[in-house]
Chains A and B, each alone.
Chain A
Amino acid sequence: MSTFVGLVTVFIATLLTHNIALTYLLGMCPFISLSKRIETASGMGIAVIFVVVLTAALNWPIYNLILVPTHSELIYYITFIITIAASVQLLEMIMERFLPALQASFGIFLPLITVNCIVLAVSLFMIIREYGFLKSVVFALGSSVGWTMAIVVMAAINEKLRLIGDIPRGMRGPGIVMTSAGIIALAFLGFAGIVSL
């Protein structure tokens, strides 16, 4: 029972109080460039959830069952990067073969994910914080859902902003996205204290 409570706590914490985009400031490149439309943002979000959970579930056993017993923890950056690149490639091929409709809807985002820092970040955080396997998977799920939530909210704000218009010249594009993200992050500070990791 207590492990279950622990897992729920991790999930809520990664979603609200320790949101990977708004607290740890990760995954910002796609957060800024792909948050113009809600469909694009949610497509990228779903792809990120897929890949983050998959790679965390793969990287955990690779680190704890292969690298630790052989005392080669030193190379875990390289190992994780290869796992991530390979699983993205594999996912792309599987989707192309069996799920062409899904591939058409968010397949274009998959190659971009290899260099999305939250995929690597989630794997690094789970190793540094010494999470168990189940906790790592829940942490990965929470982080990626939290990131998706943040980018979809951002996209919704951007769509509304376009209707209003009249943004100062230099502020258009990334400038206004960052300002809005700051305000969202400020609002999320209000969740502080609900749960702690």
Chain B
Amino acid sequence: MSSPAALRRPGAQTWGTFLTGVWRDHPIFSQVLGICSSLAVSNRVENAIAMGAGVTFVLLATAVFIAGLRKLIPGRVRMIAYMIIIAAFVIIVDRFLRAFFPPISEQIGPYVGLIITNCILMGRAEAFFITNTVPQSLVDGLANGLGYTMTLVLIAIIREAVGFGTILGMRVMGAGWVNWVVLSMAPGAFFLVSLFIWITRTLAGKDA
């Protein structure tokens, strides 16, 4: 956390919010949120990019709506309000993918719908958007979205390169390469993400 003096300068605060989202409180490794999709959709890079872009878009849109309506949303029903706002934008993402990228939509179909229950969205809505202004929330949404996308793509690059021998469909491994099929399946996702968690947590000096 930045010191109170640093927080008084608006530029520093925005930058702080951004850095916190991208690195310090990284949604996947630090808070262990949004794991489902990061595991399931990271078998190919194109799926990861589509999913990351979708989540970032929904984060930005809900940031505007929830932060803008934060004084009008009654505390008791705020959860359901978040969900309806999020679901509305997820429908847009789903339709968009189906219209312009049908092969991707076919592969990650049900997981797009599951953006609704991605804990990152509910988490950011409850922890940040509901108590902050629209511009601040946009920065936070963008930072969390980018942090999420970055990780997803990174995991996907490794999984696709090692599991299929390709990146974005292009061959990257030599002719003699034997695919590590296990990395493209569920166990590989678990192993890789746990490895990432191990590395980032050791670097950040976090305990448990």
Q: How far is the CA of A176 from the CA of B137 in the complex (A)?
A: 33
Nearest chain B residue, comparing its CB with the CB of A122: B110
Nearest chain B residue, comparing its CB with the CB of A27: B36
Interface flags for A162-174 (1: CB within 8 Å of B; 0: not) read 0000001111111
| Interface residue from A23, A33, A121 paired with B114 (Cβ < 8 Å) | A121
Residues of A near B190 (CB, < 8 A) are 25, 178-179, 181-182, 185
Of A7-15, A37-45, A60-68, A111-119, the stretch lying at the interface with chain B is: A111-119
A170 B119 Cβ-Cβ under 8 A: no
Residues of B near A115 (CB, < 8 A) are 117, 119, 122
Q: How far is the CB of B152 from chain A (nearest CB, A)?
A: 13
Per DSSP, chain B at the interface is: helix
| Interface residue from A24, A33, A168 paired with B40 (Cβ < 8 Å) | A24
Q: How far is the CA of A20 from the CA of B198 in the complex (A)?
A: 25
Q: How far is the CA of A33 from the CA of B119 in the complex (A)?
A: 13
Q: How far is the CA of A194 from the CA of B94 in the complex (A)?
A: 34
| Interface magnitude class on chain A | 35 or more
Q: How far is the CA of A23 from the CA of B186 in the complex (A)?
A: 6
Knowing A22-B186, A81-B83, A172-B208, say if A120 contacts B90 (CB, 8 Å): no
Question: Does chain A have a CB within 8 A of B150?
Answer: no
- Total interface residues on B, CB under 8 Å, equals 46
Residues of A near B103 (CB, < 8 A) are none
A-B contact pairs, 10 of them (CB 8 A): A26-B36, A81-B83, A121-B110, A124-B114, A170-B202, A171-B197, A181-B190, A182-B191, A185-B187, A185-B190
Q: What is A's interface to B at a CB cutoff of 8 Å?
A: 22-29, 32-33, 74-75, 77-78, 81-82, 85, 114-117, 119-121, 124-125, 128, 168-179, 181-183, 185-186, 189
